[in-house]
A and B are shown apart, each in its own frame.
Chain A
Amino acid sequence: MAGKSTYVASTTFTRWLDARLPILRLANDSFVNFPTPRNLNFWYTFGGILAFMLGVQIVTGIVLAMHYVPNADLAFTSVEGRIMREVNYGWLIRYVHANGASMFFLAVYIHMFRGLYYGSYKAPREVLWILGVMIYLLMMATAFFGYVLPWGQMSFWGATVITSLFSALDQIVPHLGTTVTTWLWGDFSVGDATLNRFFSLHYLLPFLIAGVVGLHIWALHVPGNNNPLGIDVKGPQDTVPFHPYYTVKDAFFLALFAIFYMAFVFYAPNFFGNPDNYIQANPLVTPTDIVPEWYLLPYYAMLRSVPQKLIGVLVLVGALLTLFFIPWLDTSKTRSCRFRPLMKQLFWLLVGDCLLLGYVGAESADAAWQLGGMQLPLVWLARLGTLYFFGFFWVLMPLVGRLERPKPVPQSIARAVLGEA
């Protein structure tokens, strides 16, 4: 809760500094003596993990940029010939960065689903949620640009497919789409001009992310954290100071996350990748299956579920824009799904739906399941999944909020925590 500052500058120097730039005061009030609900569980550690991952990606990225060459003829060799083989620990920094992107998205999805489950997007935290969605979109753009940089087959063809989506605008305004794609490419197809600008943007966006993260934490600190019970903090007995309680908890779960992350870096560094990206980009040869990285697969499935290009693009954009409206789509007075028996089940169906869409996105466009003697084209599963996605947010959230009978929430956090003990 943003209350009175409890910081007391104890030395001459800190008093002097506090009178000129109260940065230590800010640090104390935000991360030391910040009252935090005492009942935050494991799912609440992912915010800290995300901040750590942003730091890791920026540091490894800046170091990689010392050796990478953003030129279509030299990029692939600068990564696979120079960084991976010649630069001291280059292989390590590259694998940390590449797998770091996957870990970053894994953490952000858990973080977002946690927010959905506990109603952390509801009043008064709507702006907090919106800033989060903005961070998510910036992350997707950053990851998209970053994946192009090694200039492998998937880099090139993924860039071609996604940037070509804008040509769908031709159907709204003649020639608008091709004008936009030519402008994006700087050429008549993805090429060196495209690569150079993607490198510039890939370097820039993470710092925009860092700025929005600052706003995100600020917006969080005004009302204070939500908690698994979804009820407001009633007084000091409901909270503990952030340090040492949540610094140590965040540190512990960060260490566990790091074990998971490093296991991939050192023992399965290409698990999340695609072998085709170890082939240098060739504009004349298309890979058999063009697939984005796993964290973009659900959107890929939604895009391909619609045969008409423009509608497919609108569906994809619509899915992302939907996220902005969530604070107003949910009409329930109860925040946490712990006390919302129906929404809880629909929530888990949404999780399953996203996983299903992700699976379909990875398969080829004409893939089908063999069921007995019949064939079920996966595109129908994608359509079903897309329908549920939109239905969940635009139909179920507003309706269930009104129709559901939530369970009674506890009187206070302290009662719930200490009472149970």
Chain B
Amino acid sequence: MKLALPLALLALAATGAAAEDVGQPLPPKTVDWSFNGPFGTYDRGALQRGFQVYKEVCSVCHSLNLVAFHDLAAPGGPGFSEAQAKAIAAGYKIPAEPNDKGEIFDSNGNRLTRPGVLADHFPPPFANEQAARASNGGALPPDLSLIVKARAGGPDYVYSIITGFGHKPPPGFKVIDGKYYNPYFAGRNISMPPPLGGGSVTFGDGTPATVANEAEAVVTFLAWASEPKLEQRHLVGFEVLAFLALLAGLLFLAYRKVWKDKH
């Protein structure tokens, strides 16, 4: 008798699980981001580690077209010094202007390049959409400059996607050839292979390179890439709202004074 209720609930739960609607993706996991809330800021360490993950893993397929090297040294960002940002830029090869002979390719047919400078943006891994699709089985890896704002669920969604691999598809679910099962993705068939494994990078600050840490770092970095002015926005916002509250208070008193004898 005592077991009847728990057993009934268990049965109910079991039927619920078996009836999982695979037509819908799972809701994203919730992560407590450092930049959540009105007083949120970006964790500098996470931004730098995330940049490393982007550079060493994601940038093979994904461009970051709207971010410039000098942004890496800007306030509210990863906090590299100007010299460090300059060095990072110089490590990239940017397609060069035509040389004095008007050439843009060398004798082997490779595009002539020059080292990056602060004013340059991150160069894309592929010259154009067709090249990107050809290298990725017909799928187009999206630019990541705004990815956190371009997806419902924001950073939680992006985090869930990149950590959402490794689930077993439910029985009867068809995983399309060349794609991967990811329950957080609409349709649950995603073209991107699992991007992160444990130890994909080695963090200079000693943070263990677990998938969760790598993911948290890169999503923080991508959140900054999507919204580089967040910290300034929160700070100015506080000042503006505080001022408006003060002004509203003064106006309220003035309003009462003016109307005192009219009510």
Instruction: Let me know if chains A and B touch directly in the complex, using CB atoms closer than 8 Å.
Output: yes
Q: Which residues of A approach B to under 8 Å, CB–CB? A: 38, 77, 80-81, 84-85, 91-92, 95, 240, 244-245, 248-249, 251-252, 255-256, 258-259, 262-263, 265-267, 269-270, 275-276, 278-279, 288, 417, 421
B244 touches A278 (CB 8 A): no
Cβ of A279 to closest chain B Cβ, rounded Å: 5
Cβ of B138 to closest chain A Cβ, rounded Å: 14
Given A245-B259, A267-B38, A421-B263, residue A252 in contact with residue B252 (CB < 8 A):
yes
Complex CA–CA separation, A251 to B249 (angstroms): 11
Contacts A91-B232, A249-B259 aside, 17 further interface pairs with beta carbons under 8 A come to A80-B145, A81-B66, A85-B68, A92-B233, A92-B236, A248-B251, A248-B254, A249-B255, A249-B258, A251-B251, A252-B251, A252-B254, A258-B244, A262-B244, A263-B241, A288-B186, A421-B263
A266 touches B255 (CB 8 A): no
For A269, the chain B residues whose CB sits under 8 A away are: 233
* Interface core residue of A262, A266, A421 (most chain B CB under 10 Å): A266
Cβ of A394 to closest chain B Cβ, rounded Å: 39
* Closest Cβ neighbor of B74 among chain A residues: A85
Complex CA–CA separation, A77 to B65 (angstroms): 9
Within 8 A of A (CB), among B143-180: 145-146, 149-152, 154
* Interface core residue of B226, B228, B236, B248 (most chain A CB under 10 Å): B248
Given A263-B241, A267-B234, A279-B150, residue A255 in contact with residue B259 (CB < 8 A):
no
Given A80-B146, A270-B149, residue A265 in contact with residue B186 (CB < 8 A):
no
Cβ-neighbour of A259 out of B68, B229, B248 (below 8 A): B248
B258 touches A85 (CB 8 A): no
B247 touches A255 (CB 8 A): yes
* Interface SS of chain A: helix
Q: Which residues of B approach A to under 8 Å, CB–CB? A: 38, 65-66, 68, 71, 142, 145-146, 149-152, 154, 186, 226, 228-229, 232-234, 236-238, 240-241, 244-245, 247-248, 251-252, 254-255, 258-259, 262-263
Complex CA–CA separation, A276 to B149 (angstroms): 9
* Closest Cβ neighbor of A266 among chain B residues: B237
Complex CA–CA separation, A310 to B228 (angstroms): 46
* Closest Cβ neighbor of B40 among chain A residues: A267
* Closest Cβ neighbor of B232 among chain A residues: A91
A240 touches B244 (CB 8 A): no
Complex CA–CA separation, A296 to B252 (angstroms): 34
A275 touches B186 (CB 8 A): no
Complex CA–CA separation, A80 to B259 (angstroms): 48
Q: List 20 A-B contacts (CB under 8 A).
A: A38-B262, A77-B66, A92-B233, A92-B236, A245-B262, A249-B255, A249-B258, A252-B248, A252-B251, A252-B254, A262-B240, A265-B237, A266-B38, A266-B237, A266-B241, A267-B234, A275-B149, A275-B151, A278-B226, A288-B186
Given A80-B145, A265-B237, residue A255 in contact with residue B244 (CB < 8 A):
yes
Complex CA–CA separation, A95 to B240 (angstroms): 14
* Closest Cβ neighbor of A77 among chain B residues: B66
Cβ of A67 to closest chain B Cβ, rounded Å: 15
* Closest Cβ neighbor of A82 among chain B residues: B66
Cβ of B123 to closest chain A Cβ, rounded Å: 15
Cβ of A287 to closest chain B Cβ, rounded Å: 11
* Closest Cβ neighbor of B252 among chain A residues: A252
For B66, the chain A residues whose CB sits under 8 A away are: 77, 80-81, 85
Cβ of A262 to closest chain B Cβ, rounded Å: 5
* Closest Cβ neighbor of A269 among chain B residues: B233
Complex CA–CA separation, A38 to B68 (angstroms): 58
For A244, the chain B residues whose CB sits under 8 A away are: 258
For A92, the chain B residues whose CB sits under 8 A away are: 233, 236
* Interface core residue of A245, A265, A270, A275 (most chain B CB under 10 Å): A275
A91 touches B229 (CB 8 A): yes
Cβ of A155 to closest chain B Cβ, rounded Å: 13
Complex CA–CA separation, A91 to B255 (angstroms): 34
* Interface core residue of A248, A263, A276 (most chain B CB under 10 Å): A248
For B228, the chain A residues whose CB sits under 8 A away are: 85
For A275, the chain B residues whose CB sits under 8 A away are: 149-152, 154
A84 touches B255 (CB 8 A): no
* Closest Cβ neighbor of A81 among chain B residues: B66
* Closest Cβ neighbor of B237 among chain A residues: A266
* Closest Cβ neighbor of A262 among chain B residues: B240
For B241, the chain A residues whose CB sits under 8 A away are: 259, 262-263, 266
Complex CA–CA separation, A288 to B236 (angstroms): 36
For A270, the chain B residues whose CB sits under 8 A away are: 149
For B262, the chain A residues whose CB sits under 8 A away are: 38, 240, 245
Cβ of B50 to closest chain A Cβ, rounded Å: 18
Cβ of A290 to closest chain B Cβ, rounded Å: 15
Given A255-B247, A278-B149, residue A266 in contact with residue B258 (CB < 8 A):
no
